[in-house]
Amino acid sequence: MLEFATLAQLVGLALGAVGPSGTLTIANAVIAPDGFQRSAVLAGDSPTTLSFPGPVIQGTKGTSFSLNVVDNLADTTMERLTSIHWHGFFQSGSAWADGPTGVTQCPIVPGNSFLYEFSAAEQAGTFWYHSHFSSQYCDGLRGAMVVYDPNDPHLDLYDVDNEATVITLADWYQIPAPSQGVVPTPDSTLINGKGRFLGGPLSPLAVVMVNQNSRYRFRLVSISCDSSFVFSIDGHTMNIIESDGISTEQLTVDSLEIFAGQRYSFVLEANQAVDNYWIRANPSAGTAGFDGGLNSAILRYVGAADQDPTTLQQPNNNPLLETNLHPLTDPAAPGTPEPGSADVNINIAVAFDFNTLQFQVNGAPFIEPSVPVLLQILSGATAAQDMLPPGSVYELPLNSVVELTLPGGSTASPHPIHLHGHAFSVVRSAGNDSYNFVNPVRRDVVNTGNLATDLVTIRFRTDNSGPWIMHCHIDWHLIRGLSVVFAEGIPETASSDPPMSWDDLCPAFEDFENTER
């Protein structure tokens, strides 16, 4: 197996990736990624290839995806309904395929399937997919997606970029999500689906192979439900060239903190002695540290012994600062370069009600409606105040610049906030009191910070009609109400025409609720 993995990296083969067309089967299987056996919700290109993480889905810039999701879930200790969100894709003209239940679709019921069709259009980079029904993705339904660009502006910086250079970081839970408490503590960190838990067996760790003197584009994907991770590789620096599907100017760091839902591409030069080196992902939740191989994987040079590294962690003297990331092209934020001077300016105040155990955004908890917002619009709703859930839907006109202020410091901060349908310019980052309208990082998940003075501010242009949810990507917070929906271009959305198979989702869901629940 080791020889095959090495060969694949040398010649650029994919190790079982699917896409841009294919079938994604969602089913249950017992796995033990950290040495503890449990049933999980998994994806595979067939019922016999289920895995955690799910298979890498790949395509090329400009191509369209056609992915048939089949719900074969049977384990009643976990959710059996499902839906898939294709994280980072703008879904221009295909809001019906975005995935969040209660917003753009009803869930897929067991025994049924649904064909998601959408275009990568002008997008390329690193993305991921996950369940967007309840807290289901915490039980395993998550995986990476890559859109390759044959004309990548950074192409001359690396020699290898394939499925074997994707690195996923996940928190893992040994108890099924429906049986968990309000905000459970992860039991382990999994890197490429492998890890160890405190007091557990010495389970195999993920091994990432490199050839000495080759240059690798690693695509780091946080498929976490909660934890952020401080990521580093002993003896090596990382030259960042992408954040959340947007090419950036080169930035060399020795460590980075990555929050749930975020992605980075970095170039690693395999210029050290042939040996084994620790890959480290220290989590913000759960057991921290690296004793006994916790929160770790192995970078192994071809020719090195098959053994654990003995390398020591060096001080991280050059960590990633978000304010040092700049888009490679079209760097300016949209609109007038003054705070509060966009066409639409909204403050997003987050609070937690300890009586109801619900988060509120501007005083309203998001309680998922049984009729998706998109269906409400297609059924004639024309004003946000008439849409469900009450107080959680905001109307945005097309062709406008929107500025959102996201104060930090609320309960269970920091919150990684993700906006569907767009990437946005982060004109003010956490831990920073100045604004940058000239070349701020553009991304789709932003950390809002730990302090009330962390007035994270983002800007985007409303050029994509549809109901787009914005939510905390800590899934435990999302299901407790930390989200809003932006109904962008309501008249244009009302004239959209989802496929008939989309129309069939809600009646099937209603029948399932009446007979199975």
Can you give the pLDDT at residue 517? 62
E strand intervals along 32-107: 38-44, 57-60, 64-71, 84-87
Separation CA 220–CA 7 (nearest Å): 21
Can you give the pLDDT at residue 12? 32
> One fold for both 21-151 and 344-510?
yes
Using a 10 angstrom Cβ sphere, with 0-12 exposed, 13-18 middle and 19 or more buried, the burial of residue 40 is: buried
Long-range contact set of residues 315-319: C-beta below 8 Å, sequence gap at least 24: 316/230, 316/232, 316/254, 316/255, 317/254, 318/237, 318/252, 318/253, 318/254, 318/255, 319/230, 319/253, 319/254, 319/255, 319/256, 319/257
Can you give the pLDDT at residue 9? 32
Q: Which strands, in side-by-side order, build the sheet including 401-407?
A: 344-347, 401-407, 455-461, 424-428, 442-443
- Residues with Cβ within 8 Å of 463's Cβ and at least 6 positions away in sequence, in order, are 398, 399
Distances from the Cα of 450 to the Cαs of 111, 229, 309, 407, in angstroms? 44, 16, 35, 9
Strand partners for 281: 231
Which superfamily, per CATH, for 21-151? Cupredoxins -  blue copper proteins (2.60.40.420)
User: Which residue, among 366, 447, 449, 457, has the nearest Cα to 410 in the 3D structure?
Assistant: 449
Distances from the Cα of 418 to the Cαs of 141, 212, 376, 433, 475, in angstroms? 18, 38, 23, 21, 11
Can you give the pLDDT at residue 8? 31
Chunked into runs of 10 residues, the chain (517 residues) has average pLDDT values of 29 62 98 98 96 98 97 98 98 98 98 97 96 98 98 98 98 97 95 98 98 98 98 98 98 98 98 98 97 98 97 94 98 98 98 96 97 98 95 98 97 97 98 97 97 96 98 97 98 97 98 89
Q: Is the CATH number 3.40.50.80 carried by domain 344-510? A: no
Separation CA 195–CA 203 (nearest Å): 7
DSSP state of 503: H
22: its two tokens = 């294919």
Separation CA 232–CA 316 (nearest Å): 8
Residue with tokens 């010649």: 11
Alpha helix (H) residue ranges in 111-262: none
- Residues with Cβ within 8 Å of 504's Cβ and at least 6 positions away in sequence, in order, are none
The CATH fold of domain 164-320: Immunoglobulin-like (2.60.40)
Listed by start position, the domains of the chain span 21-151, 164-320, 344-510
CB 48 within 8 A of CB 93: no
508 three-class SS: helix
Separation CA 442–CA 326 (nearest Å): 8
Strand partners for 446: 417
79: its two tokens = 């959710």
Dihedral over alpha carbons 506, 510, 516, 517 (to 10 degrees): 110
Distances from the Cα of 515 to the Cαs of 257, 501, 510, in angstroms? 46, 21, 9
155 three-class SS: helix
First-residue to last-residue Cα distance in the chain: 44
Residue 489 backbone phi and psi in degrees, to 5: 65, 65
Separation CA 312–CA 306 (nearest Å): 18
Separation CA 26–CA 70 (nearest Å): 6
Separation CA 328–CA 154 (nearest Å): 10
User: Which residue, among 305, 317, 17, has the nearest Cα to 147 in the 3D structure?
Assistant: 17
CB 455 within 8 A of CB 447: no
Strand partners for 29: 40
User: Which residue, among 376, 369, 483, has the nearest Cα to 107 in the 3D structure?
Assistant: 369
425: its two tokens = 């310019």
- Residues with Cβ within 8 Å of 459's Cβ and at least 6 positions away in sequence, in order, are 333, 334, 335, 342, 401, 402, 403, 404, 424, 425, 427, 437
Separation CA 182–CA 153 (nearest Å): 44
Separation CA 99–CA 109 (nearest Å): 14
307: its two tokens = 């053994």
